[in-house]
């Protein structure tokens, strides 16, 4: 799978995108990441990529022309019917989720456009962007860190990237886990600062261990993320009627 990242700050990706699982995936040829700087597609001596907003207002707006030329250059490397899906990292976008990561991991290529300043000229969005993605209800200085989060969440779902496919199927938010948070896990030593691993984990009975994990996972989800429990069992009103 190939990621094209349109960014004014490619240097921000040097550490996170070369270490750990992502770095290994690149070395093994499972994924490829290309960085495209819109400044390389400007046509003035100042390499301008932003300008004041029409109608007034604070800050600067990323101009459509450099972004369009950058994406056009990416598209030139593909047949017209196989061009990458173009994603804009934006606080106005669709919330990032495990399900969305799964969908993106099935694509051959994705272009991630990192916005900056006060936003991106709407005409570029209308003409080029297939999907806008948000990583949360908060504002960041740019789309680079959100793009890294998307690359990370998608890369680990690409076949062959993780050594244990079972870990992907059972993790939090996956459909196989029921869409809820994961249950607790423990490792050596058996006792840490007076706290022992629950005895059920030491019995060797895998069925009982899984039953315990699922029970605690449901309790934890109900406490921390009750929104994920919608559709689990009867509603309180239905219980009262019973």
Residue % of the chain over a pLDDT of 70: 89
Residue 26 confidence (pLDDT) above 60: yes
| Cis ω before 166 (30° cut-off from 0) | no
Mean pLDDT of all residues belonging to the chain: 90
Query: Which domains occur in the chain, in start order?
Result: 2-155 (3.40.1280.10), 174-241 (1.10.1270.20)
Which is more confident, 191 or 239? 191
* CA diameter of the chain: 75
Give the whole-angstrom CA distance, residue 139 versus residue 146: 10
- pLDDT tens for 138-182 read 989 999 999 999 999 999 999 999 976 545 555 554 555 567 898
85 touches 131 (CB < 8 A): yes
- Which residues, at least 6 apart from 124, have a Cβ–Cβ distance to it below 8 Å? 62, 64, 67, 68
pLDDT score at 233: 52
Q: What predicted TM-score, i.e. pTM, was given to this entire model?
A: 0.85
Q: What is the pLDDT of residues 127-138, one digit of tens each?
A: 999 999 999 999
Question: Which pLDDT belongs to residue 165?
Answer: 57
Mean pLDDT across 174-202:
87
The pLDDT of residue 240 is: 46
Task: Look at residue 32 and tell me whether its pLDDT is greater than 70.
Answer: yes
Strands (E), 81-134: 85-95, 109-114, 131-134
């Amino acid at each position: 799978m190939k990621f094209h990242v349109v960014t004014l700050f490619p240097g921000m990706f040097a550490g996170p995108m070369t270490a750990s699982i992502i770095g290994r995936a690149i070395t093994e040829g499972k994924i490829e990441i290309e960085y495209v700087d819109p400044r390389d597609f400007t046509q003035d001596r100042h390499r301008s990529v932003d300008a004041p907003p029409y109608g007034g207002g604070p800050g600067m707006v990323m101009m459509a022309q450099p972004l369009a030329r950058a994406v056009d250059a990416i598209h030139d490397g593909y047949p017209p019917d196989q061009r990458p899906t173009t994603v804009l990292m934006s606080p106005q976008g669709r919330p990032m989720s495990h399900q969305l990561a799964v969908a993106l991991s099935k694509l051959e290529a994705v272009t991630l456009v990192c916005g900056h300043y006060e936003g991106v000229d709407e005409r570029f969005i209308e003409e080029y962007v297939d999907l806008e993605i948000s990583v949360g209800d908060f504002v960041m200085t740019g789309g680079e860190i959100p793009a890294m989060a998307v690359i990370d969440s998608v890369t680990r779902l690409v076949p062959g990237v993780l050594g244990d496919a079972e870990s992907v199927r059972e993790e939090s938010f996956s459909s196989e886990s029921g869409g809820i948070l994961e249950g607790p896990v423990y490792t050596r030593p058996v006792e840490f600062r007076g706290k022992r691993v629950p005895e059920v984990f030491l019995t060797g009975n895998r069925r009982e261990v899984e039953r315990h994990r699922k029970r605690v996972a449901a309790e934890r989800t109900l406490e921390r993320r009750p929104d994920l429990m919608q559709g689990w069992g009867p509603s309180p009103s239905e219980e009262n009627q019973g």
